[in-house]
Amino acid sequence: MNIFRFAGDMSHVVSILVLLLRLRSSKSAVGISLKTQELFLIVFVTRYLDLFTTFYSLYNSFMKVAYIASTTYIIWMIRFQEPYKSKYDASQDSFLHIKFAVAPCAGLALFACLVKGELSPIDILWTFSIFLEALAIVPQLFVLQRYREVENLTGHYVFFLGAYRGLYILNWVYRSYYEQFYRHNWLVYVSGAVQTALYVDFFYYYVVSKYYGGKLTLPT
């Protein structure tokens, strides 16, 4: 564990807590993409299958369960709990049907694992989750574009979610530099870079709006 990875995990935790706070305080899911949450749940469920096969640490196991539980709760809240259910506007969260993200990532993961010769289902699903996570934020970014003006807590939720994987990139640099036996996984680096790159323009408008004060508004 290193400071970058810990900061990244804490950023991810903060993002989930801020999203929960935002849902509770605004009593609606307007401006929040349910699709993004569902994609993240698929990411966690396919990535953390080793929960049952490999024990790394209490922290690692606890966080995996916490991510799956919190994301499941958020999806349940928006889908089934009032007032979120009646206020959720699926037509505003219509970009990127889940299958159009899942299918290419599944194909790419299968291909990558064939090339690498790692054919265990756990490895293939793990690789699939690495690719899928890069796309998971796309529906949320489109919902932000739709509503243009970004509500304060929603802005923080997206910012910390983007910062988490950006900090992981620093963690990979650190590990490749300091850990003698660390084996590189270029698929993870590329996917993490693409994922973080998708946030770049949001980061820009977020930082500018925080620096100059005023509302966070995204250009059309």
Residue type, 178: Y
| Minimum CB distance to other proteins, residue 197 (Å) | 18
Residue type, 154: T
Select 26 or 185, whichever has its Cβ closest to other proteins.
185
Q: Which amino acid is at 113?
A: C
Binding footprint of other proteins on the chain (CB under 8 A): 5, 9, 12, 50, 54, 56, 60, 63-64, 67, 126, 168, 171-172, 175, 179, 181-185, 188
Rounded-to-integer distance, Cα 52 and Cα 59, Å: 15
Residue with smaller CB distance to other proteins, 135 or 167 = 167
The smaller minimum CB distance to other proteins, of residues 129 and 154, is found at: 129
Specify whether the CB–CB gap between 118 and 130 falls below 8 A: no
User: Is the CB of 55 or the CB of 100 nearer to other proteins?
Assistant: 55
Element (H, E) at 63: helix 58-80
Q: Which is nearer to other proteins, 30 or 188 (CB)?
A: 188
- The SS3 assignment for 32 reads coil
Give the contacts of 93 (CB within 8 A, at least 6 positions apart): 33, 34, 35, 139, 143
* Least CB distance to other proteins at residue 37 (A): 17
Question: Residue 202: which residues within 8 A CB-CB, separation 6 or more?
Answer: 141, 144, 158, 159, 162, 218
Contact of 71 with 157, CB cutoff 8 Å: no
Residue 119, classed as helix, strand or coil, is coil
- Cβ-count burial of 23 within 10 angstroms (0-12 exposed, 13-18 middle, 19+ buried)? buried
- Please report how close the Cβ of residue 55 comes to other proteins at its closest, in angstroms: 10
CB of 150 to other proteins, least distance (A): 26
Least distance (Å) from other proteins to the CB of residue 63? 5
Shortest CB 8 distance to other proteins, Å:
8
- Give whichever of 172 and 202 is closer to other proteins, judged by the CB atom: 172
